[in-house]
Amino acid sequence: MRIGELAARTDVSVRSLRYYEEQGLLTSSRSAGGQRHYTEAEVERVRFIQRLYAAGLSSRTISELLPCVDTPSEGNYDAALERMAQERNRLSEHIDELVRTRAALDGLMATARAHRESEARAQGVRHGSGDGASAPRVLES
């Protein structure tokens, strides 16, 4: 398939696909006229690349990882494994942090709801300035 179709099927812009190739993350065969051609396999590969990007890996890191996927050969196992383990850790930490943030957000929402309801209970209150209470303490880790 040509680049446009790959782009459509992966929801990644044509621009980005060319960029991936520039960064050595993706390869293509070329037609006589110089146009890029891809096989089905590239669809998954692009999705995988996107996933790694979403995980916060830089294209340089990705390009260090992919050779191991491409051409498993003795040389790159150890280095790649270490690299992957390292990124796995980073990723886990990041996930934990996001989970904590989500919890904080939940706390914030709960507090907001509670405040809204207490305000609703005290009907006919003075408008516009709330109750003057200090900010809800939802910021702790």
Partner DNA sequence: CTAAAACCTGACATGGATGTCAGGGGCAAG
Partner DNA sequence: CTTGCCCCTGACATCCATGTCAGGTTTTAG
Select from 39-47, 56-64, 99-107, 111-119 the region that touches DNA (CB under 7 A).
56-64
Is 1 a binding residue for its own copies by CB under 8 A? The answer is no
| Closest distance to its own copies from the beta carbon of 62 (Å) | 11
Residue placing its CB nearer to its own copies in the complex, 60 or 102? 102
Largest Cα separation within the chain, whole Å, is 78
Q: What DSSP string describes 13-51?
A: -HHHHHHHHHTTS---EE-TTS-EE--HHHHHHHHHHHH
Residue pair 66/59 in contact by the 8 Å Cβ criterion: no
- 24 is a site residue for its own copies (CB under 8 A): no
Q: Which helix (H) or strand (E) holds 131?
A: none
Binding region for DNA (CB under 7 A) out of 27-35, 74-82, 92-100, 116-124: 27-35
| Residue 93 partner contact from its own copies, DNA, none using kind-dependent CB cut-offs of 5 to 8 Å | none
Least distance in Å: CB of 32 to its own copies? 27
Q: Which amino acid is at 53?
A: Y
Span interacting with its own copies, options 5-13, 20-28, 32-40, 97-105, rule CB under 8 A: 97-105
Q: Which residues of 123-139 are buried (b: 16+ CB within 10 A; e: fewer)?
A: eeeeeeeeeeeeeeeee
